[in-house]
Structure 1
Amino acid sequence: MGLLKIRTAKDIVFDTFVIVFMLIIVILTLAPFWFSIVGSFNSGLDYLRGGVFLWPREFTLSNYKAVFSDITIYNAYIVTASRTVIGTITSVLFTAMIAYGMSRKNLKFKGYYMIFMMITMFFAGGLVPTYLLYQKLGLLNNFLVYIIPALFNVWNMIIMMSFFRTIPETLIESAKMDGAGEYRIFFSFIIPLSKPVLAAIALFNGVYHWNSYFDAMMFTTDKSLQTIQLFLMRVVTDASFAHSMGAQAAALIPEQAKQISPETLKLAMMIATTLPILVIYPFLQKYFVKGVMIGSIKE
């Protein structure tokens, strides 16, 4: 029978302080997101009066109807979803293969490889050399510009390598004695045993691909390759773009024209681009917590 811990006055005060402090942090974190949701469901003209914080004063769906009345957003969603799925799968697989090789004790010149990779974490060629390199490789205005440059990340490789080193060496030796080669070992044993770290790295890559807009802005001019985040950036930063969206929506929905404003359109666009990744996150959270703890505890 376990011993009951007696809570002292100091314990109660400390726990109360921690709870109150964490509640404040949660409120400060969620408040901007909640205000954006409230504003996106509020009438545009009424929102300009101010004072809309806790709930919509004049509820309307016109802002979302305006956002999704532009067919460009659907193509942007398809491009973003495609690069997120393809980019995440290829990056996790490619990085895992390199991490597995680097985790093997018998890999020759492993120290030199690590030095070369670590250098790339601190030094880069810069924007102009990168642009010229992509131009020579034929990646400009090419969907692969979203995939190939993001195939490998040194930090993700280090996290994976740390996890692979925790897998018993006897398991790999047993597989080799049964005639399994390195590829068979990797795909049949290493990958199934590495779900926590793979899920964590997949989440890192997925969020990166979904939120990325700079590569689309710098290396593509074809509107068919526009990502949802680049579309959002134009709505938020370019007032004329938001006005044109509002005018287009007003032409399609004349009776709701007064319910739309550039500010509420921006808020609705923010929620529309953020919601998908928020829906996916809870399914990967348990793996994410395990993955980020890798290497933090040494036995």
Structure 2
Amino acid sequence: MKLNYQILILLFIIFHASTSFASHAKQTSNIIYAEKMNQDGAVQQLKLDLYEPTGNNQNKIVYLMHGGGFLEGDRGDFIEYSNYLVKQGFTVCNLDYRLIPEIYHEQLTYDIYATSLVLAMDDLDSAIRHIHDNSDIYGLNDYDIIIGGYSAGALTSLHYAYINSIDDVFLLSESDIFSNLPQDKISLISKFTEKKYEISKVLNIAGSLLSPYLVHEGEPSIISVHSIEDVVVPYEMGDTDGTGIITYGPKTIHQRADNLSIKNQLITINDDDHGSFGSGIENENCHDCRVMVDEFLSQQD
């Protein structure tokens, strides 16, 4: 009898948890937003999960991109944070994107990294276009667009947000990582200078830019969360994950944003763990990080 009572209690808890989430959100999983060729020539089906609030709705959609150094990870890394954001009234699009195929993992070059960044940006562009072009299906075309992610996903979002002119493309093409990139990939970058949909904000969790001069006056506002002693992605400027690729972290990016009067907020965490908050901005040294991010993303520009 006692065992049956415990089972009933457990079932009640599970039911309450599931209905509690259901009261906050509608989830549509495994939406195919594109089919594209990877670096090894294989065609990959790209999927996303869409979370929509059923109560409080801020009319803002957050596109999330996982981390993993362009080598690993998937949208499963951001499930918990997606559930959290949708409870705050955000619509969330949690997406997979093309990674570096395993056959190249032992022979990584600048060209491979550069190509992976360009392909990830192209995938983000396709996800945004899929959701907003199909307003008859999703009804989200008038929502403010926020893009962001963790580590490689943040790096992708930053470059997508701030490449807005041919001068930006030239600036990238002169960097070491892009110097030998095939012309078709350089042309693909040029596509991002004429975005179909405007980006309002960027959420940068432990990401960086190849140049702070990609950021110009009047461009999207930005909030960053970063560990001051991160040894994988630099807080200020330095080598990125032992690749020899020099990037500029949030300290430099936000100084640039300040100089250009771009709305921004930098949340600095005092530890050296790159992954301590990657899958949802939870950190023992920053208990209010999520709340601060929510408040910034909720603001009207």
Normalising by structure 1, we get a TM-score of 0.25
Identify the structure with bigger relative contact order (alpha carbons < 8 Å, sequence gap 6+). 1
